[in-house]
Amino acid sequence: MELGKQKLEDVLTALKLKKELDEENKKKVICILAVIGAVLAVVAIAFAVYRFFSPDYLEDFEEDFDEDFDDYFEDDEEEEEEAEEEAEEEKE
């Protein structure tokens, strides 16, 4: 009977040790995940600040493109007007 009682105590002790180790491992995992989350939060904030303060070069490009595009069509319109004036002068 002593042998069975000793084995039962050994099993209970082993279960307690396993439970303590599991809790320690859980704490370690939670700490690691907390650190990773904090690092990701800092990176996200840094990226948001960078995007907010960086100039928008595409907007400037689009404005320049629109201006150049408008100038191109203005030149065509002037040429058409000149051609119409010349045609009218030839008719007279």
46 and 78 in a single domain? The answer is no
| pLDDT confidence of residue 17 | 83
Interior angle at CA 75, CA 69 and CA 79, nearest 5:
150
79 and 65 in a single domain? The answer is yes
2 and 38 in a single domain? The answer is yes
| pLDDT confidence of residue 43 | 97
11 and 29 in a single domain? The answer is yes
Per-residue model confidence as pLDDT tens digits over 25-60: 899 999 999 999 999 999 999 999 998 888 776 666
Does position 1 have pLDDT exceeding 80, yes or no?
no
28 and 65 in a single domain? The answer is no
Q: What is the Cα–Cα distance from 61 to 57, expressed in whole angstroms? A: 6
Confidence of residue 75 (pLDDT cuts 50, 70, 90): low
40 and 5 in a single domain? The answer is yes
pTM value?
Answer: 0.48
87 and 61 in a single domain? The answer is yes
Q: Which range marks the domain in which residue 74 is found?
A: 56-92
Rg (CA), the chain: 40
Number of domains in the chain: 2
